[in-house]
Amino acid sequence: DLRLIVITDRGLAAPRDVLDVVAAALEAGAPAVQLRDKDATTRELFEQATELRAMTRRHGA
């Protein structure tokens, strides 16, 4: 059973926002998201994680 796991990457998402890319993936049925951003501050990661968790909950991911 192969499943798609979305791994975030700000550089590959550009010029789109990572949250927009994740939203599209979740709408398409992606079951999981892994947040990665080596250049983000702790605060930025926390804010992104909070928003991503809300998005994944809405989609049952």
pLDDT band at 47 (very low <50, low <70, confident <90, very high): very high
Is 90 exceeded by the pLDDT of residue 2? no
pLDDT for the residue 1: 58
pLDDT for the residue 57: 95
Instruction: List the domain boundaries for the chain.
Output: 5-59
pLDDT for the residue 25: 94
User: What is the DSSP code string of 1-61?
Assistant: ----EEE--HHHHTTS-HHHHHHHHHHTT--EEE---TTS-HHHHHHHHHHHHHHHHHHT-
Which residues does 9 contact at the CB level (< 8 Å), separation at least 6? 18, 36, 37
Is 80 exceeded by the pLDDT of residue 60? yes
